Amino acid sequence: MKDTIKKSRPVWLSKFLFLLSILGPGLITASADNDAPGIATYSVAGATYGYKLIWVILVITIGEVVILEMAARMGAVTGKGTADLIRERFGVKISTLAMLLLIIANLATTVAQFAGVAAAGELFGISRYISVPIAAVVMTFIVLKAEYKYVERVLLVLCLASLSYVVAVFTVKPDWAAIGQAIIRPQIELTGDFLVTMLAVIGTTITPWAIYYLQASVADRGVDMKEYRYTRLDVSFGSAWGNVISAFILIVTAATLYVNGVAVNDAKDAALALQPLAGEASSILFSVGLLGASLLAVSVLPLSTTYAFCEAYGFERGLNRKVKEAPVFYGMLIAIMAISSLVVLIPNAPLFQMMILSQTLNAMLLPVLLILVLKLANSKEIMGKYTNSKLTNILAIGITLLILVVTIALFFEPLLNKIF
Amino acid sequence: MIYLSNLLNQKVWDAFGHVVGQVEDILVSHTDQAMPPIDAILLKKNNSDVRLIKGELIATLWPTIALSVDQRELSDYQPHGHELHLKKRVLDQQIVDTEGKRLVRVNDVVIARKNQQFLVTGVDVGIRGLLRRLGLDTAAKFLAKTFNFKLTSQIIAWEDVASIEHDDPLRLKVSQERLVQMEPVDIAAILDDLDHHTSKALLQGFDDEILADTLEQSSFEVQQAILAAMDPERAADVLEEMDPDEAADLLADLDDERSEQLLSLMEDEDEIEIRQLLAYPENSAGGIMTTEFAWVPGDFNVEQALTHLRTSEEAKEDEFMYYLYILGNDEKLEGVVSLRDLVTAPLDKSLQDWADDDVVHVEPLTHQNETAYLVAKYDLMAIPVIDPESHKMLGIVTVDDALDTVLPTAWKKRIPRFAGK
């Protein structure tokens, strides 16, 4: 009876499968950089300011890697979520502040996802009063039934449409010299519009929900510090990859729309950027990408918000609970879905502006969370020997300061303009 | 009732009205008691000086904290290292409510006075405690009065609370003793919600049998985390205690090297059983059957059968005993009798009378769905699994395992907590 009954796999295959099982949260989190508000933000940034904002993408790629790495490391060391740690370390008041900011940011972002659904539909003349309610009901159902596995795969495939920007770069022949210039000599315009767009680019890349979501899923997978290097690889690779695509969206729109002086006010304008590549099919390509990205985010965002909230306050949570056992959990999940889809249905709500402003708001709310995360990741009591390195601290503090400075500049922009 | 949150950072006065310091934390040591007394107050003076004051010197806690002696006569408390810091280790942390069988977060700690002692009586886990911490207590009371609804506090008695922190072995033991009083399925549900480090630490202290029962009810992630944390010998012992079909399921999901190692460490008898089960596909009757069932030879009478069930070791191990199977030579199934019929029958009746060639049964490769269908159709508690060639009885599929496909009792095992998990 000593013979092996189980079929044994070759060693390299088990190693590869193990790697695949660890890779994941980082990649998903980073793909979500290019959700509907992401695509809208980069399109508008490229169409309005040409290559001017490309250096910001470079800077925040570093920022995103550093910040998400901290979150992943905290998840691996403690096995707990961000909301858990904040509550246990800082008490009720601070954690309520953090929760409030998270809920505001995530509500705004979920609104933006439904705006993405609406914009995708309107490209084909489908009224938002049809597309948004259907999306909201179907996605609520899917989330409650926890049928992600298949749905998520389908949505990830739809998201591949954003790869068309990578291909498009070679057909639109961008001015590489100008791009190089824009990176070497970063420029800031002291105008409200520019600062809002710049914050939106930051806010759509480094999001509070990505931090909470990543830490929770690393903790949930039970990644320990032995396997952590794979997770770090996943996070770094995922972030870099997400931002490469972001940069390409910006470059393509700059090379097509900015050059020809086309402003982006809605999805129809933004889709024009893909015309040199896809011709008539460009609006199909654009709306498929937008729809996939929005729905993918809707399947994750409200749920992770709800989990974080229930974690912080100790409400019963989980889709395996009955509604009666976890009323707060289910109530909040459904409320987020309902409120955010209803906001989009306000007559004549400007979809693209909503998407961009939601990301600007995200960025403005981010520093509070970053400061808390920095404190946690530097605490010996929590992290043991895995506290932040000096370099991590310098970079993370740098990003936090950058966001703060730009936010302050935005509020004092009229004043600053008088001085300079 | 006195709340910990009302005491923290408050000034402490001596008997003559001098300020001795501010409350930084409160310590208790007899956490195993239903209402442990406060042993010491950690005082902070000028933000740097800290000292421990004996709890017995407290004269009042509310509305002001006053000591019964002059500040010059204060005697320091000598810590022995097993004290529980209420602020640092309980407030805002998660704990297990063993009465409500759930994981909750502590919004406040409740302290009461009894005779000359101050005792920790419970923890507040409700919204009201949360509002008090946020300083919204008065506002909430006002709103409650205006709109005429009741604000109820959710306070759990200290004896129904198991703290899950695991850095002190003595206190961990108290928690484990309280946890063990819950059903394995409830323990498993709580472990699923906890982080892996904590669930590992909590489970280590359980004895093999309870650990096995809990593992059977746990999700694969928890099972893996716990098995990985144990040394292989212990893990093998625990696997032996589990139902063979559950143990086989668990081993099938582990990587080959690890499951081989564990199998070889198990006792031969258990190892062979599990290897047989592992050979069958997961969705077949063989994959979900258990090899433990009660049986007697056909020449027994009722009295002998009952004596056998009472005394034999094998029968004792059988956790699912609704039927007694009558086996002939070569372990061939000759008949079956329900426990009810057995108990109500005259003692001298021969079991042969129940012999029936036509017992409803399945083969090891029968699909799980077909098995479930037969179990439901004939209203069975268990269905025997028979080898088609040798006609040997291999095991039984119990109703709960059979119906798992249709109505998964362990459905929570399959739902990811997050997308992407």
Q: Cα–Cα distance between B93 and B165 in angstroms, integer?
A: 9
Q: Cα–Cα distance between A211 and A217 in angstroms, integer?
A: 10
What's the mean pLDDT in B38-56?
88
Mean pLDDT of chain A: 87
Give the A:B interface size as CB pairs under 8 Å.
103
Query: Does the distance separating the beta carbons of B421 and A220 come in below 8 Å?
Result: yes
Mean pLDDT of chain B: 84
Chain A residue numbers with beta carbons less than 8 Å from the beta carbon of B197 are 78-79
Q: Cα–Cα distance between A23 and A328 in angstroms, integer?
A: 32
What is residue A224's three-state secondary structure?
Answer: coil
pLDDT of residue B415: 38
pLDDT of residue B350: 86
pLDDT of residue B417 exceeding 70: no
Minimum Cα–Cα distance from A17: chain B residue? B255
CA distance A204 to chain B (A): 20
Of A9, A80, A299, the CB nearest to B195: A80
Q: Inform me whether the C-beta atom of residue B141 falls under 8 Å from chain A C-beta atoms.
A: no
Helix axes A282-313, A148-159, angle to 10 degrees: 140
What's the mean pLDDT in B304-330?
83
Per residue, what are the HEC states of A325-349? CCHHHHHHHHHHHHHHHHHHCCCCC
CA distance B374 to chain A (A): 29
Chain A residue numbers with beta carbons less than 8 Å from the beta carbon of B421 are 217, 220-221
pLDDT of residue A249: 92
Query: Does the distance separating the beta carbons of A303 and B418 come in below 8 Å?
Result: yes
Chain B residue numbers with beta carbons less than 8 Å from the beta carbon of A152 are 419-420
Query: Does the distance separating the beta carbons of A5 and B198 come in below 8 Å?
Result: no
Of A95, A152, A318, the CB nearest to B419: A152
Q: Rounded to 10 degrees, what is the CA torsion of B118, B119, B124, B130?
A: 30
Of chain A, the percentage scoring pLDDT greater than 90 comes to 55
pLDDT band at B189 (very low <50, low <70, confident <90, very high): confident
Minimum Cα–Cα distance from A213: chain B residue? B418
Of A221, A299, A313, the CB nearest to B105: A313
Of B107, B198, B260, the CB nearest to A4: B260
What would the pLDDT profile of A179-208 be if each residue is shown by its tens digit? 999 999 998 888 999 999 999 999 999 999
What's the mean pLDDT in B275-293?
84
Sign of the C-alpha dihedral, residues A13, A14, A17, A23? negative
pLDDT of residue A341: 95
Per residue, what are the HEC states of chain B? CEEHHHHCCCEEECCCCCEEEEEEEEEECCCCCCCCEEEEEEEEECCCEEEEEEHHHEEECCCCEEECCCHHHCCECCCCCCCEEHHHHHCCCEEEECCCCEEEECCEEEEEEECCEEEEEEEECCHHHHHHHCCCHHHHHHHHHHHCCCCCCCEEEHHHEEECCCCCHHHHHHHHHHHCCCCHHHHHHHHHHCCHHHHHHHHHCCCHHHHHHHHHHCCHHHHHHHHHHCCHHHHHHHHHHCCHHHHHHHHHHCCHHHHHHHHHHCCHHHHHHHHHHHHCCCCEHHHHCECCCCEEECCCEHHHHHHHHHHCHHHHHCCCCCEEEEECHHHEEEEEEEHHHHHHCCCCCEHHHHECCCCCCECCCCEHHHHHHHHHHCCCCEEEEECCCCCEEEEEEEHHHHHCCCCCCCHHHHCCCCCCC
Whether the Cβ atoms of residue A306 and residue A336 lie closer than 8 Å to each other: yes
pLDDT of residue A2 exceeding 50: no
CA distance A131 to chain B (A): 24
Whether the pTM exceeds 0.90: the reply is no
Paired tokens of A304: 């992770």
Residue by residue, DSSP assigns A45-67 as: HHHHHTTTTHHHHHHHHHHHHHH
pLDDT band at A148 (very low <50, low <70, confident <90, very high): low
Q: Inform me whether the C-beta atom of residue B92 falls under 8 Å from chain A C-beta atoms.
A: yes
Chain A residue numbers with beta carbons less than 8 Å from the beta carbon of B258 are none
One-letter amino acid of B38: I
Q: Inform me whether the C-beta atom of residue B225 falls under 8 Å from chain A C-beta atoms.
A: yes
Of A78, A80, A221, the CB nearest to B421: A221
Query: Does the distance separating the beta carbons of B104 and A222 come in below 8 Å?
Result: no
Whether the Cβ atoms of residue A351 and residue A48 lie closer than 8 Å to each other: no
Lowest mean pLDDT among A118-127, A139-148, A205-214: A139-148
Whether the Cβ atoms of residue B326 and residue B334 lie closer than 8 Å to each other: yes
pLDDT of residue A32 exceeding 70: no
CA distance A313 to chain B (A): 6
pLDDT of residue B420: 34
Of B94, B134, B415, the CB nearest to A319: B415
Query: Does the distance separating the beta carbons of B197 and A91 come in below 8 Å?
Result: no
pLDDT of residue B340 exceeding 90: no
Chain A residue numbers with beta carbons less than 8 Å from the beta carbon of B93 are 88
Burial of A263 (0-12, 13-18, 19+ CB in 10 A): exposed
CA angle A27, A31, A37 (to 5 degrees): 155
Query: Does the distance separating the beta carbons of B193 and A14 come in below 8 Å?
Result: no
What would the pLDDT profile of B200-224 be if each residue is shown by its tens digit? 788 777 888 888 888 888 877 778 7
Instruction: List, in order, residues 6 or more apart from A217 with CB less than 8 Å away.
Output: A24, A25, A75, B418, B420, B421
> What are the φ and ψ backbone dihedral angles of A394, each rounded to 5 degrees?
-60, -45
Q: Inform me whether the C-beta atom of residue B167 falls under 8 Å from chain A C-beta atoms.
A: no
Query: Does the distance separating the beta carbons of B92 and A87 come in below 8 Å?
Result: yes
Strand partners, B393: B386
Q: How far apart are the first and last CA of chain A?
A: 85
Residue by residue, DSSP assigns A136-187 as: HHHHHHHHHHT-HHHHHHHHHHHHGGGGHHHHHHHHH---HHHHHHHHHS--
Q: Cα–Cα distance between B265 and B55 in angstroms, integer?
A: 52
Of B103, B272, B417, the CB nearest to A1: B272
Query: Does the distance separating the beta carbons of A219 and B421 come in below 8 Å?
Result: no
pLDDT of residue B123 exceeding 90: yes
Burial of A291 (0-12, 13-18, 19+ CB in 10 A): buried
Burial of B261-291, coded b for 16+ CB within 10 Å and e otherwise, reads ebbebbeeebbebbbbbbebeeebbbbbbbb
Q: Inform me whether the C-beta atom of residue B411 falls under 8 Å from chain A C-beta atoms.
A: yes
Q: Inform me whether the C-beta atom of residue B281 falls under 8 Å from chain A C-beta atoms.
A: no
Minimum Cα–Cα distance from B192: chain A residue? A220
pLDDT of residue B101: 86
Q: Cα–Cα distance between A159 and A36 in angstroms, integer?
A: 10
Burial of A149-178, coded b for 16+ CB within 10 Å and e otherwise, reads eebbeebeebbebbebbeebbeebebeeee
pLDDT of residue A13 exceeding 70: no
Q: Inform me whether the C-beta atom of residue B125 falls under 8 Å from chain A C-beta atoms.
A: yes
CA distance B193 to chain A (A): 9
Among residues A115, A40, A29, the alpha carbon closest in space to that of A360 is found at A40
What's the mean pLDDT in A339-346?
94
Strand partners, A67: none
Q: Inform me whether the C-beta atom of residue B104 falls under 8 Å from chain A C-beta atoms.
A: yes
CA distance A24 to chain B (A): 7
Of A88, A224, A304, the CB nearest to B93: A88
Burial of A260 (0-12, 13-18, 19+ CB in 10 A): exposed
pLDDT of residue B259 exceeding 70: yes
pLDDT of residue A347 exceeding 80: yes
What is residue A253's three-state secondary structure?
Answer: helix
pLDDT of residue A360: 95
What would the pLDDT profile of A107-138 be if each residue is shown by its tens digit? 999 999 999 999 999 988 899 999 999 999 99
Q: Which residue has the higher pLDDT, A417 or B260?
A: B260
Chain B residue numbers with beta carbons less than 8 Å from the beta carbon of A88 are 92-93
What would the pLDDT profile of A291-326 be if each residue is shown by its tens digit? 888 888 888 889 889 999 998 998 888 887 888 888
Of A79, A88, A92, the CB nearest to B197: A79
Of A92, A222, A300, the CB nearest to B92: A92
What would the pLDDT profile of A225-235 be if each residue is shown by its tens digit? 888 888 888 88
pLDDT of residue B12 exceeding 80: yes
pLDDT of residue A406: 93
Of B125, B252, B419, the CB nearest to A300: B419
What's the mean pLDDT in B19-33?
91
What's the mean pLDDT in B4-11?
92
Of B193, B195, B415, the CB nearest to A146: B415
What's the mean pLDDT in B307-326?
81
What's the mean pLDDT in B361-382?
90
Counting every residue, how long is chain B? 421
Instruction: List, in order, residues 6 or more apart from B32 with CB less than 8 Å away.
Output: B174, B177
pLDDT of residue A25: 63
Chain B residue numbers with beta carbons less than 8 Å from the beta carbon of A8 are 256
Instruction: Count CB-CB contacts under 10 A for residue B416.
Output: 15
Q: Inform me whether the C-beta atom of residue B278 falls under 8 Å from chain A C-beta atoms.
A: yes
What would the pLDDT profile of A55-94 be if each residue is shown by its tens digit? 999 999 999 999 999 999 999 999 899 999 999 999 999 9
What's the mean pLDDT in B282-311?
86
pLDDT of residue B411: 42
Chain A residue numbers with beta carbons less than 8 Å from the beta carbon of B411 are 320
Query: Does the distance separating the beta carbons of B420 and A217 come in below 8 Å?
Result: yes
Chain A residue numbers with beta carbons less than 8 Å from the beta carbon of B252 are 6
Chain A residue numbers with beta carbons less than 8 Å from the beta carbon of B264 are 2
CA distance A60 to chain B (A): 24
pLDDT of residue B357: 66
**Which of the 8 DSSP states describes residue A316?**
-
CA angle A236, A239, A244 (to 5 degrees): 120
pLDDT of residue B332 exceeding 90: no
pLDDT of residue B277 exceeding 80: yes
Q: Cα–Cα distance between A116 and A59 in angstroms, integer?
A: 26
Chain A residue numbers with beta carbons less than 8 Å from the beta carbon of B256 are 4, 6, 8-9, 14
CA distance A317 to chain B (A): 9
pLDDT of residue A221 exceeding 80: no
Paired tokens of B281: 């596909």
What would the pLDDT profile of B148-160 be if each residue is shown by its tens digit? 777 777 899 999 9
Kind and range of the H or E run holding A379? none
